[in-house]
Structure formats: C-alpha cells, structure tokens
Amino acid sequence: MDAAILSKVNAWLDGNFDEETKAAIRELQTSNADELADAFYRNLEFGTGGLRGIMGIGTNRMNKYTVGMATQGYANYLNKSFPGEEVKVVVGHDSRNNSRLFAEIVANVMGANGIKVYLFEALRPTPEISFAIRYNKCKGGVVCTASHNPKEYNGYKAYWDDGAQLVPPHDKNVITEVDKITSVSDVKWNGGEHNITLTGKEMDAEYIKMVKGLSVYPEIIAKQHDLKIVYTPIHGTGIMLVPDVLKSFGFTNVNIVEEQSKPDGNFSTVIYPNPEEKDAMSIGLKKAQELDADILLGTDPDADRVGIGIKDNHGNWVLMNGNQTAVLAFNYMMEARKAKGIAQSNDMVIKTIVTTEMIDAIAKGNNIACYNVLTGFKWISSMIKEKEGKENYVIGGEESFGLMIGDKIRDKDAVSAVALLCEMAAYEKEKGRSLFSKLVDLYVQYGFYLEDLISITKKGMNGQKEIAEMMEGYRSNPPKSINGSDVVTLLDYEMREGKNLTTGESWAIDLPKSNVLQFILADGTKISARPSGTEPKIKFYFSVNAPLASAADFDKVMGELRGKINGIIDSMKLK
C-alpha cells in the first residue's frame, strides 16, 4: 500500500476514533486492501457545494467524522463572517440511510460552536430548508442528502444567508476553513445542545402558503379539480409535502404510488432513485396507465428534481426530458401571467448554459429577458440577487429536471414544480387539449429543439484523472467537424473565452470560471462537455433543432433529429 495512504490508515487506527470504526479498518486490511486504499487515498473533498460520497469508514467516505470535521470548518467560517451577530442556521435531511444521524451531528457541532440551530424534527424536502433559511433570517444551513445518487451515497449541501448554496467568495473560503480541520480532536462535538430548536409543522404551513401563492389560475383548478394525478415520491421526502400542497391548490384526485410512498434509504423498488431514469418511474407509469391518468409526476429523495409523464400524440405514455419539462413550465409562467394580466414589464427568466435554447426563443417571443448562467441553481440564485430591485424574477431552471418558481426560495424545488405542472395540465385540459399537444404547438411556433445527454462514469482513483485528460484533449485539440458539420465556435468557460474557429476571432465570456466546453456547429447543433461536480462522471449534452411546419410532421422531424443526435454520438465515439 502507498505510504501516504498507510499513514492515514494508521492515524485512524491510533487516533480518537470509536472501536467499531477501527474494527472495520482492520477487517478491510485483511479482506479487501483495494477498498481500504480507495477509502483513504484522499480526503473527501468539500467542494463548492459541500460533500458527497459513498458511506463508510475512511477519509474518502461519508461518515460521522468527515461530516463533523466539515461542519467544524463551516461553523468557523460562519462565526468569522458575522462577528458580534447572532448566527443562526437551519439543518435538514432526506430519507437516506444515516441522514438523520448526520443531521444531528451537524446540529450538535453547530450548537457547540455557539450557533443557534433550527433542526427539522424529521425528514423534509431540500427546498423547504432553503425556504426556512430565508424565513428565519438565518446565516446559513445544511441539508444532509445525496440527492438522486444510489443508496450507497450520502452528502452534505451547504447554504448561505440568501438560502442558496455557496457561491464565491464563500465557497472557496469555507473550503479553506474545512481544510484547516486536520484532526477529529479539532471538532467541538457537543456542549451546545441548548442552542438547538426543533422545527417542523409550523414551517410546513408557511412553506405551503408560499407555494400556494405561486398559482396563476386557481379558478381553472377549481373547474378541473378532479384532474387525475399520479404521484410517486420514489421513497423520498416528497411524501411529506407534495400531497398537502396539491390539496391546498384544490386538486381532489391525487393517486399516490403506494409501492414507493414510504421513505426508505434502501430505495427498495429502484436502483437509481432519480426521476430522470425510466426504471424509477416505471411503477408510476404502470399506475398512470391503469387509471388512465392525466399526468404522472415523480420526485427524487430530497424532492428537488421532478419527472413528468404524459400521453403523447398517439395516446402512449411518455416521460418528458428535463428540457421539455422546462419548456412547458417557462412558457406557462410567461404565457399565463400575460393572459391573467399580472406580467410585469421587467419580468425575467434564468436558465443554465446547457439547457435548451428553445427557452431563449420563447422569452424573446414574449419580450422577456432570459439570462444564461453556469450549471447549478446557486448561479440562478446569484443572478436573482444581482438583479434584485431592478428586474422581477419569474422562473428559473435547468435540464437536469430542476425548476425554481418565484423568489421565496433559492434552490430547485420539485414540490412547487409538481403543483405548477398539475396546474398547467389543468389549464390545457380546460382548453380541451393535453400538455403534449401544447408542447408540439410550441415546436411549431418556435422551432423543434431536441436534446439528449450521455454520462460517462470513470470510477476509482484514476477516474478523475481520465476525465481531466478527456477535457484537456477537447480543449487543446477541438474537433474540426462532428457528424459532417464543421465546428465553427468553441466556448471555453474554464478559460472564459469564446473563439470563432473559422476566423480566429476571440472574445471574453462574462461568467465565472467553470470546466465546461461547448462546440457550436455550422448547422446550429450545440454540444457541451462538462465533468460532474458531484460524481465521477463527464457529461455530454447534445442539442439539435429544425423547423416544424405543422403538428402532423412531428413524428417525421422527431425521427430526423433523433437520428442526428445518434450520428453525433457515433462521430464522437462516445458509445
């Protein structure tokens, strides 16, 4: 074993760690040296959003010690940042194994550092924690969750006083403070229990009241109250609020997928508890078919991502991708507000650079400003903060099944998204058509945009290195053509530079640095490459578009665009 790894292992065996942890280390020494090396070869990185990793013993794992040390560093930064002020935080957690344990450790360490803690009494959706930070005028917060990752994972999302995840300079400054905590002995583990207050139902009521206020057409819901809704929380926190929110909106025919209704950290009916995955939505799809429902919705374990199923133009149930869901939601919030007479002249919407450009076209058609930011809702929140008092934020979103409606929270919110998507379905049903018909009408009006995504996973110690080498290859030697179309523009967000590869002209990109590359082809195709910030993956996003003359041409043009994406994937040798 590498000497540096062995030194870390011995430090845990000799240090102030519990006997159960030491016994697990000794067991791995004899039974699985490779797994032991992976558990200790590095420190689990406190990234710009917090921690995420496989649970287990070791410096590269999510466990009570890595959570405690990270919290001590974050607590130190909070106290340094607000000298002489009362520092308050909110702490919440999802349904994952150990999430409650980790949340209580976070609360205890924060309390021991003199910080007042609002600890949710049981699991709650991530967006409610963001809302509670703002509502209680806190300086920060933590949610213990690994979002949609498999059951082996857990994580730790850190928030600032605006209810958003950390952005510069706080993200890097917190990392600096966390890195200073080199021993479990540096952690104040207890002694501040008097600083912890449990919160729950009273905050639920305020959150539900806020979400209900987002409704644009409650009178249409009253007419279509029996819209047949099927909802699955996929064993997560959505069950705590989604049924109550739908009831508050006035929907009376909500059918819960019982097999996935109970919070369960083992996610017993799925492998990936992610509404992006067809398998995760399959039980819900079956129920929707059996009931001949109007709409199917699913949320991930911490209820910040939403998936939607509807019937297509042939009456078959299909799952919308994140871009299609965003197109429907953005358009509804622009169109319905205008029809209702509540749109403002300074309305704005925000999306990320890898989200469909169809939204830009819809915003332009509605004479509404549309801003593009880096991937992640913290950047959407940062833009809201920048424009506060000057422009009116309406909706934001990204292709990874995330929407944020209204400015009372500052993270993606699947709970409010479920309610508004159901309202959209009711709005279209009142007009005698489906959400799918509406989507096709939008394609006819603005152009048919089709997107797809491929994630390539590189696990283990060499995974990150392989991903870095892939990105460097694309950056230093960009392809001259892809699928028979010339690459005309390279956008390098790490170098913050755009370049016309035909003329050599270059320009500055006015966004923070991010390891993202985008290739714009002569035929209007956009391809993005981005390493994941939370998993050992590199993601490739594909966006193609073509005119759609009429709804009757939908299947034909869809086939052509799908073939084009497949050609791009083959050309880039990504499968």
Question: Which residues does the annotation mark as catalytic?
Answer: 147
Is there a contact between 296 and 288 (Cβ–Cβ < 8 Å)? Answer: yes
| Alpha-carbon dihedral sign for residues 108, 112, 113, 117 | positive
Q: Can you tell me the distance from the alpha carbon of 305 to that of 126, in angstroms, rounded to the nearest whole number?
A: 10
Which residues are paired to 538 by β-bridges? Answer: 456, 531
CA dihedral 155, 121, 422, 150 (to 10 degrees): 30
The Cβ of residue 230 has, within 10 Å, a number of other Cβ atoms equal to 25
Residue 425's alpha-carbon distances to 415, 428, 485, 551, in angstroms, are 16, 5, 39, 19
- Exposed / middle / buried, residue 178 (Cβ in 10 Å: 0-12, 13-18, 19+): buried
Q: Can you tell me the distance from the alpha carbon of 408 to that of 184, in angstroms, rounded to the nearest whole number?
A: 37
Which residues are paired to 540 by β-bridges? Answer: 454, 529
Q: Can you tell me the distance from the alpha carbon of 554 to that of 545, in angstroms, rounded to the nearest whole number?
A: 13
Is there a contact between 294 and 317 (Cβ–Cβ < 8 Å)? Answer: no
Q: Can you tell me the distance from the alpha carbon of 384 to that of 404, in angstroms, rounded to the nearest whole number?
A: 11
- To which H or E segment does residue 506 belong? strand 506-508
Is there a contact between 245 and 208 (Cβ–Cβ < 8 Å)? Answer: yes
In the DSSP assignment, the letter for residue 55 is B
The DSSP-derived string for 65-119 is HHHHHHHHHHHHHHHHHSTTS--EEEEEE-SSTTHHHHHHHHHHHHHHTT-EEEE
Show the tokens assigned to 281: 């939505």
Q: Can you tell me the distance from the alpha carbon of 120 to that of 128, in angstroms, rounded to the nearest whole number?
A: 10
Distance of CA 453 to the CA centre of its chain: 15
User: Which amino acid would we find at residue 62?
Assistant: M
Location of structure tokens 């909110």: 90
In sequence order, what are the residues at sequence separation of 6 or more whose Cβ sits closer than 8 angstroms to the Cβ of residue 406? Answer: 210, 213, 214, 393, 394, 395, 416
In the DSSP assignment, the letter for residue 164 is S
Q: Can you tell me the distance from the alpha carbon of 397 to that of 385, in angstroms, rounded to the nearest whole number?
A: 16
Closest CA to 178 of 55, 86, 43: 43
Closest CA to 360 of 350, 349, 370: 370
In sequence order, what are the residues at sequence separation of 6 or more whose Cβ sits closer than 8 angstroms to the Cβ of residue 334? Answer: 343, 347, 349, 362, 363, 366, 368, 394
Q: Can you tell me the distance from the alpha carbon of 244 to that of 258, in angstroms, rounded to the nearest whole number?
A: 16
DSSP strand pairing (517-521 vs 526-531): antiparallel
Is there a contact between 373 and 493 (Cβ–Cβ < 8 Å)? Answer: no
